[in-house]
Each structure stands twice: as structure tokens, then as C-alpha cells.
Amino acid sequence: MRRTKSNRANSRLAVLSLASLLALSWISLASGQETDSKTPAKNKTAVSLGEAKLAGDGFKFTEGPTVDPKGNVYFTDQPNDRIVLWTVDGKLSDFLKPAGRSNGMYFAPDGKLLACADEANELWELDLSGKHGVLLKEFEGTKLNGPNDVWVDQGGTIYFTDPYYQRPWWEHKKQPQRKQSLYKADRNGSNLVCVDDALVQPNGIIGDSARKLLYVADIGDRKTYRYKIGRDGELLDRQVFCRQGSDGMTIDSEGNLYLTGSAGVYVYNAEGELIETIAIPKPWTANVCLGGKDRKTLFVTASDSVYIVPVRFAGIGSK
């Protein structure tokens, strides 16, 4: 069908409108990302070994970076409904499009990619051919709010956050679940349990299987919590780790936690002290992971771009 000039213009306006709505919804998170104190603790070793370098741009909104066992990074460009691959030699290519409006992602120990597929409020499992299956979509017979970020421990337990952010592609306009909560499930998607519903708006999540710790950012309450992981994956002893929320996060081999915010990437040591703020050229950052061949490249999704920063310590997780 031939498209008129008017139709083409309307189409471009529709795309711009969608991107603008998405940008506004995510940028509004920035107020919840900020830390009460932006001054790093004195006499603490910085983790960065250089300045941020542009690894790619021209996207609409980048999110959900996660690293495979080879050090390649997969991330999402949600408004364009695609998952993008950044290889260890610095090349970028589309991995999957369409991609269920995927947001946060994580590689499970079995090599499958788990993705928070926002289009239909689902949690997906993908193989490296791009074939997917739906692991989760409901809790107690009701649609999930919208799985946002996910982590899988070495035993296979899945943990994910389920906040509510109204998306332009949804027909419903109300929060499906009574609360915005943190969930866990078995690796095959069974035995879904709400493990914490006393959160305002949970978002970023990362864990440390060796130390038996889970970190969850309550971006709506400007806090990041640390839980102990007990037997059978239960969560114990929730404590405030730092007074800063975050859209996404990662952790390194020393137990340093990397949070995102409008000033760049905030790095906290294992004691919850801010030790460095890594500057990123964009106004704010959405998510991070540690990739590259030696897992010492901090990969940062920042609005319409992605950046890389060399760091002192390696990431942990899928190897």
C-alpha cells in the first residue's frame, strides 16, 4: 500500500510520541535514584581505571544489560522492541526483534537468557537462537504488574521485581496486583511466591550466590535493601544497605555494589559506604553489568546510548 506524505508524518509523530512517553516514565525514576550523600568516603580505593567511552548510540532507551559466559553483553532497546548484542570485540548487532518489549534480563546458570517481557507482563526464557517460552505471567490467577528486573542464583532460584509503570502499549490502565512486590520461583517457573510486599516500588536487583546475599532497590522509597538467602531460597534479615534507590545494579568479586543514577554510576563497598561516583556523559544511567573477556568492563546503559568503563574488579555470575 502506498503511504502518503501525511501518513508518513503521522507515523513518525506516533513513534516520537511513544518514545517520549517512555522517556518521561523512566526519567521520572531519577528522583528515586539519588543518594542522600554524593560524597564518596575518604581513603577508599576507586574501582574505575579510566573514563567512560561510548560503545554505541542511536537507540531509543537502553536497559537490562546482562553478560553471557563468554563476556558478551545483551541489552534491550525497549521502545524499539529489540534485544541487542555487544560482543567482546566491540561489535553491535540485533539479537532478537521483536522481543516482547523486554526490559531487565539475566543469564541463568544453565545458559538460558531470562527476560522481563513487558509487553504482556511476562517472564521469558530464551535460548541463543532467540526461541522463547513463557515462564511466568500471573500470581494467584491475576496478571503480574510487569516484571522489571531479574536475577537467578547458582541453585536455580529466580528472583524478580514487579513494580508498576504504565506502558503505552498496554490496554489496561490500573495496577493488576494489589502491591508492587518481590517474588521468587523455581527455575522452571513453578512455586511462585511473593517474598516481600512491604516495598514501595522495587526495581533493580542483583545477588551474590557465594556470599548468600540478595540486593533489591526500592526506587520508590530511595533505599536499597540487602537480604540473606537461606535454605530453599527463602529471604531473611532484610536490612537497609544504603539510602539510594536504583533502576538497575551489578556487583563485583569484592562485594562492591554498582547503582545507577543521574550523576552516573554510584559504587558502594560491602559495608554500604559510597566509595566512588563514575561519571557518564548522559544525564542519567538506567542499568549496568560487568562484561568483557575478563569481566572487568563496566557496561552502562544510558538513555539512547551505551558506555563502557574499565574497572579494577571482575564481575560475578554467569560463567
**Does residue 16 carry a pLDDT above 80?**
no
Residues in the chain: 319
Residue 72 grid cell: 558478551
Taking the domains of the chain in order of start, what are their residue ranges? 5-310
pLDDT tens figures, 215-251: 999 999 999 999 999 998 999 999 999 999 999 999 9
Distance CA 166, CA 149 (A): 16
Span 147-160, average pLDDT? 97
Task: Identify the pLDDT of residue 303.
Answer: 94
Distance CA 220, CA 232 (A): 29
Superfamily name and number for 5-310: TolB, C-terminal domain (2.120.10.30)
Residue 315 grid cell: 564481575
pLDDT tens figures, 168-183: 999 999 999 999 999 9
pTM: 0.89
pLDDT tens figures, 186-222: 999 999 999 999 999 999 999 999 999 999 999 999 9
